Amino acid sequence: MLKNTTKEDILIEALPYIQRYEGKTFVIKYGGAAMTDTDLQESFAKDVTLLKKIGINIVIVHGGGKAITDLSGKLGLETRFHDGQRITDAETLLNVVMTLVGTTNKDIVRLINRNGGSAVGLSGMDGELLQAKKFLYNGIDLGFVGEVESVNTKFIELLLSNGSIPVIAPVGVGADGEMYNINADLAAASIASALNAEKLFYMTDTEGILIDGELIPTLTNGKAKQYIAEGLISGGMVPKVQSSFDAIEQGVKKVHIINGTVTHSILLEIFTNVGVGTQIIKSEKLKQNIEKKNKKEQDFLDFSTLTKYGLYELFHLADKLKKTPELRPLTGKSIALIFQKPSLRTRISFEVGIAQLGGIPIVLNNETIGLGTRESSYDVAKVLSRYNDGIVARVFEHSLLEELAAHGTVPVINALSDLLHPCQILADVYTLYEHNALRPGMKIVFIGDGNNVANSWIELAGIFPMHFVLGAPKGFQPDPVVMQKSLAAGISKIEIIDDPVKAANGADVLYTDVWTSMGQEDEKQKRLAAFKGFTISKKLLDHASPNCLVMHCLPAHRGEEITDEVMIGSQSVIFDQAENRLHIQKALLCSLFGSIDSSMIQKFSIEAKNYEKTKATVSA
């Protein structure tokens, strides 16, 4: 479980999920190590029994591939697969039936009942539960392998209404009475679709979908097709992925490919903010994770329209752009950059980023346009929308951004306002992601003023689970509306503590900002007095966790909010944050203003490899 999590925290965290899923149906494809390891077997049996006891309908479809293969070896039968599908001749079919229906199914039923459940073992042949026909995989005859034509849901629903847990062996029957071996993943998807299930779970022996060793927390249909074509998703994972999208198309709300080697993995996935696998979603682009309004592309003024999975999409897009800098998805597009405030990192990162993506940055300072004074925000929004494909604005008052968004017809990005600084926080969490330090439940401690940066951290806590602490003296609290909205999301623990040492205790990240921001110069002496003792020093860092990372959004007043020793110390990632403003903002720009075709990435990858080969040949 999460670090520093009490039993009370766990129960409180689980309560809204229990209420949400009461009466819903979950279909679980049970397989892999979870079926063979004694501890994992007990964990699984207790999990499904608990789920049933609290009012969730559970249907289990099990595999048994290892047992079938082992028995085939003992009988001298050859085992053959094609893209994860077992080629099944007449002798192998008898082996499948003996193993799945005769032993495996009954072992699972006995295990659940021993742990307090009420399981009933079935095969797809019982009551014509799974009516099947011969399955030709891309025109290839796999023998007695079937695909589901229909599911007798009345039979399953009767068992569920009687408080039972159906445990189904994936062997179906054809119209002519012929038996068929059905891939358990495909059978589970068909059953979940027929039952209009809330969730479909695939238990695997890996963390989820891994691409080049990296976990993909969310997978879209287009990317799945690309990965399968490139061989990055192969073997038994292919039918899991394909059946996942089939299930979603047919009405299943969500599909999860989870790590069955983790004890109580199903409970962790359902009732906590701890991710243990990959979630399958339908949307093809990040923009489909972002709501549309006013019949134009969605603005990025805050985190209200961004999901946790959309956040990871941005990370992966930033990674791709770093690896393939030749991509020019903004070619022919111009973006207006409005700067009411002086800027170093924000201006350079956006200006360079747009140029690197092939676009044209149009930089406008306050003296040039006089936003809200010389010209109204209404007029500026209308004019810039007719000249440009987007607007990026760094302003004093957040209301000006809202006016630009309301009256413009192109997307507007908040590059900073007095209320929020979302682009900075995107760079910050991307930096943690790059350092393998971003994880649900981590303790982020912001030492300093409850300003726009702190507000954006709190807003992020509404979509990404964390323990966020603002260490600030009384009178320097964050925006109450932002605070209340994130607390209402109920996925993060958020605290305000006026003791910097107490706040920093056990921190995974210590973050700070200047105590006196631009426009607050008249308050400097008052603020210096109020924040005395809130400096991030080596002494304060000693109260954090041993691997705590130190962050600062810059510019820094060394000796005030942070000491020089800590700022340039080994635990500082401050200048990584600054660099990542460029990379994550490029990803954001692409998601709103451009598009990257997977073939473009593949094309540049191939060209890069060919170039390296040519260079090596010439050198030799």
Active site residues: 394, 421, 424, 513, 553, 581
Asked if 68 and 100 count as a contact pair (C-beta separation under 8 A), the reply is yes
Task: Show the tokens assigned to 40.
Answer: 């994992």
Start-end of H helices in 24-100:
38-53, 65-74, 90-96
The CA-atom distances, in angstroms, between 539 and each of 470, 528, 554 are 18, 19, 21
Q: Are strands 360-365 and 218-219 parallel, antiparallel or unpaired?
A: unpaired
43-72 burial, b if ≥16 CB within 10 A, otherwise e?
Answer: bbbbbbbbbbeeebbbbbbbbbbebbbebb
- Contacts of residue 332, Cβ cutoff 8 Å, sequence gap at least 6: 358, 359
Q: Are strands 277-280 and 254-259 parallel, antiparallel or unpaired?
A: antiparallel
The CA-atom distances, in angstroms, between 253 and each of 266, 484, 514 are 17, 29, 45
Task: Show the tokens assigned to 417.
Answer: 């306002």
381-396 burial, b if ≥16 CB within 10 A, otherwise e?
Answer: beebbeebbbbbbbbb
Asked if 552 and 559 count as a contact pair (C-beta separation under 8 A), the reply is no
DSSP 297: P
Q: Is 154 exposed, middle or buried (0-12, 13-18, 19+ CB in 10 A)?
A: exposed
Q: Which of 506, 558, 508 is nearest to 536 (CA)?
A: 558
DSSP 99: I
Residue 596: strand, helix, or coil: coil
DSSP 536: B
DSSP 401-430: HHHHHHH-SS-EEEEE-SS--HHHHHHHHH
Q: Which residues pair with 334 in a beta bridge?
A: 360
